[in-house]
């Protein structure tokens, strides 16, 4: 149980609505913009905003990740397989899995890096 005096340190409101995330991390014309929202002992949250026709080229994360589409839609490639993720779509990857993300139209994703 959390003591009321520790509530401020035990919780951190990151956004009340999508508009808060849009203001904190506007879309970069012709590219993408990444912004760390929170980092803690269990997880790190990063939001990436994509402009239209932008790809985040193949890369891999050092920890397991969960990716959720917050706005728009993206093509999420893992190896030879591509998953079309719409608003609300979620995918989980183990650490070290090579992947890429492409947004045909403006989109926004949330990545949870699971600290193990």
Mean per-residue pLDDT, 55-71: 97
> Which tens digits make up the pLDDT trace of 75-99?
999 999 999 999 999 999 999 999 9
φ and ψ at 73, to 5 degrees?
Answer: -155, 155
Q: In what order do the strands lie in the sheet with 65-71?
A: 32-39, 43-50, 107-114, 65-71, 90-93
Domain ranges of the chain: 33-114
Residue of 25 and 10 predicted with greater confidence: 25
What's the pLDDT score for residue 116? 81
Q: Which CATH number is associated with domain 33-114?
A: 2.60.120.10
Residue 26 DSSP label? P
What is the model's pTM?
0.88
**pLDDT of 107 above 50:** yes
Q: What is the mean pLDDT of the chain?
A: 92
Beta-strand pair 81-85/32-39: unpaired
What's the pLDDT score for residue 34? 97
| Residue 33 DSSP SS3 | strand
What's the pLDDT score for residue 40? 85
Tokens 């995918």 locate to 91
Confidence of residue 31 (pLDDT cuts 50, 70, 90): very high
What's the pLDDT score for residue 2? 41
């Amino acid at each position: 149980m959390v003591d009321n005096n520790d509530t401020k340190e035990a919780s951190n409101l990151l956004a009340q609505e999508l508009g808060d995330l849009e203001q904190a991390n506007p879309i970069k014309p012709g590219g993408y913009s990444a912004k760390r929202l929170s980092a803690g002992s269990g997880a790190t949250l990063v939001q990436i905003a994509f402009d239209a026709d932008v790809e985040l080229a193949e890369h891999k994360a050092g920890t397991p990740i969960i990716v959720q589409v917050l706005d728009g839609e993206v093509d999420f490639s893992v190896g030879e397989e591509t998953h079309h993720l719409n608003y609300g779509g979620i995918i989980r990857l183990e650490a070290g899995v090579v992947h890429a993300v492409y947004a045909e139209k403006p989109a926004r994703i949330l990545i949870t890096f699971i600290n193990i």
